[in-house]
Amino acid sequence: MTAQELLKTEEAIGFVKEIFAKELSSRLQLSKVSSPIAVLDGTGINDDLNGIERPVGFPVKALAERRAVVVHSLAKWKRVRLQELGIAAGRGLLTDMRALRPDEDYSPIHSIYVDQWDWEKHIGPEQRTPEFLRATVEQIYAALLATEAQVSAEYPDVTPVLPKHITFLHAEDLLQRYPTLTPKEREHEAVKQYGAVFLMGIGGELSHGEPHDGRAPDYDDWSTETESGYRGLNGDILLWHPVLQTAFEVSSMGIRVDKHALVRQLALRGCQDRQELSFHSRLLQDELPQSIGGGIGQSRVCMFMLRKGHIGEVQVSIWPETVRKELAEAGVGLL
């Protein structure tokens, strides 16, 4: 790929990010805020993801060598920030999150560098419902539709492929529909059929005794019973990627735990000791607002909107030399 082609890609990435952030902020009533690249360890603020990933850590000389960690995401930090900024119910915040996840396995859609639009919105207790979750997802999906239309108008070689509406399914629905398939295979089949799916109830055990995928116990609510005996007020936005020909996750999000869900989920995961941490104790003492929030992958959205088949085409990261050579031979230009 020539230098001129790489520059055109960079310009297109900037266009996608500007348009989507504007569309998302308008629909969800979000204000742009600054955010940290690292937080102090031992506060409970960093996102534990699936609970096994190691954060990048370092001692801070000016704090008597106290350890800090590079964020995995800002799931819990944003909720604290809602309270600190006094953001009213019905409004929220949006930030550009930059993270490092060194335990991530390399693939066409994964690298150790993560960039997200991290957002969080203050809600009332009465909005902790599947109906409100679905309505919020539809607003995000409308932002994706509007972005795809504007990208297609600016770059005519990008043909719109998103369906007009996103389909809502529960992880239990997929288990019953495809009982012999793995979770990723179930996602593949469902998203291939519908084009865009919000898959609900990720993190809690399904009827066969296993979760669809892992979720930390202290941000998304994956245990509250909802309609039809299902559980979970969270999920993933999955799109059918026209180049990769597979289900493609662009967002993980959900209504956040209240104090009852937090106690329940910490017990289910056997980590009740976290209740003593700063974030958790503040939540248990009703010092933090109820909220809904999530992360939307910036590189993922750019991959989808610009029809790129490898995440290295839309972000700068560290790649093994074997991957660089293989992609160069295939004519794929890494940034």
Q: How many residues does the chain have?
A: 335
Catalytic pick among 101, 186, 231, 256: 101
Q: In the annotation, is 252 catalytic?
A: yes
User: Residue 154 has which token pair?
Assistant: 């600016």
SS (H, E, C) the chain: CCHHHHHHHHHHHHHHHHHHHHHHHHHHCEEECCCCCEEECCCCCCCCCCCCCCCCEEEEHHHCCEEEEECCCCHHHHHHHHHHHCCCCCCEEEEEEEEECCCCCCECCECCEEEEEEEEEECCHHHCCHHHHHHHHHHHHHHHHHHHHHHHHHCCCCCCCCCCCCEEEEHHHHHHHCCCCCHHHHHHHHHHHHCEEEEECCCCECCCCCECCCCCCCCECCCCECHHHCECCEEEEEEEECCCCEEEEEEEEEEECCHHHHHHHHHHCCCHHHHHCHHHHHHHCCCCCCEEEEEEEHHHHHHHHCCCCCHHHCCCCCCCHHHHHHHHHCCCCCC
Catalytic pick among 172, 221, 249, 258: 249
Q: In the annotation, is 67 catalytic?
A: no
Distance CA 6, CA 333 (A): 7
167-170 and 196-200: which strand pairing? parallel
User: Residue 92 has which token pair?
Assistant: 């929220």
Q: In the annotation, is 249 catalytic?
A: yes
Q: In the annotation, is 10 catalytic?
A: no
Distance CA 287, CA 279 (A): 10
Catalytic pick among 148, 236, 258, 313: 236
Q: In the annotation, is 4 catalytic?
A: no
Distance CA 2, CA 20 (A): 27
Catalytic pick among 47, 220, 258, 313: 47
Distance CA 186, CA 284 (A): 36
Structural Rg of the chain based on CA atoms:
20
Q: In the annotation, is 290 catalytic?
A: no
Catalytic pick among 25, 73, 251, 252: 252
Catalytic pick among 116, 127, 290, 317: 116
Catalytic (active-site) positions:
47, 101, 116, 236, 249, 252
